[in-house]
Amino acid sequence: MIELENVGYSYGGGELLGEISVDLSPGSFHFLTGPSGSGKTTLLRLCYGALQATAGQVRGFGEDLRGLDRDQMALFRRRIGVVHQDCRFLDHLPLSENIALPLTVSGHELAGQQENLRELMGWVGLTKRADALPPELSGGERQRAALARAVIMSPDVVLADEPTGNVDWEMSQRLLQLLIELNRMGKTILIATHDLSLIRAAKSQVQARVLRISNRRLQLAGADL
């Protein structure tokens, strides 16, 4: 699905990441961990083409991302659902419309998607919050809404950046279950997180590989988590 081969990312004359090789194969479940500032968000951005690698090659569905033109890149991105760390929404739009934004901006008629949207809102437990404005939402509601928005286009891959940041244990478990369900539906999942207890909880339920950024390199973490 997404392969990084000997990828590096440098800026301002310094290397942030180097010699990164990883294959997010179909249906795989990966965690990405590492200290704050180690480059987790940067690595996610490299995976979906928001940043261009300064060394090596990133391939999406077999294609070198550098070779994609604008339209091809837009098609590639549609196959990737991203849960951003800061979960931003348009504050003047009700939650249901925020979740539907990827559909509407890509030209779908919302009228024909109501059933899909309703189902998705139910899946994340936000049916009753459909008309709420984003500033009225709790942290956990925002995180679940961000996940719903990331998957509304039925992506093949979900990249989630700290999807359980700022929520309590119970809510983080709920979010984890949603991500595990997505994986069971066949989606490829990559979760960047600091939360080792989340990783431990997942490992008893799914076959997950844990990648750790350490000193600008990516390592496969052992069973010692």
Ligand X SMILES: Nc1ncnc2c1ncn2[C@@H]1O[C@H](COP(=O)(O)OP(=O)(O)OP(=O)(O)O)[C@@H](O)[C@H]1O
Q: Is 42 in the site for ligand X (CB under 6 A)?
A: yes
Q: Minimal distance in Å, beta carbon 172 to ligand X?
A: 16
Residues 6+ apart with CB under 8 A from 69: none
Smaller CB distance to ligand X: residue 46 or 100? 46
Residues 6+ apart with CB under 8 A from 206: 29, 180, 183
Q: Minimal distance in Å, beta carbon 211 to ligand X?
A: 12
Q: Is 163 in the site for ligand X (CB under 6 A)?
A: no
Q: Is 16 in the site for ligand X (CB under 6 A)?
A: yes
Q: Minimal distance in Å, beta carbon 201 to ligand X?
A: 20
Q: Minimal distance in Å, beta carbon 162 to ligand X?
A: 7
Q: Look up residue 217 and give its two tokens.
A: 């390199």
Query: Binding ligand X by CB under 6 A: which of 23, 25, 37, 217?
Result: 37
Q: Is 34 in the site for ligand X (CB under 6 A)?
A: yes
Q: Is 81 in the site for ligand X (CB under 6 A)?
A: no
Residues 6+ apart with CB under 8 A from 63: 72, 76
Q: How many CA atoms lie within 13 A of 108 on its CB side?
A: 17
Residue 178: CB atoms within 10 Å:
20
Q: Do residues 115 and 79 lie in contact, with contact meaning Cβ atoms separated by under 8 Å?
A: no
Binding residues for ligand X, rule: CB under 6 A, are: 11, 16, 34, 36-42
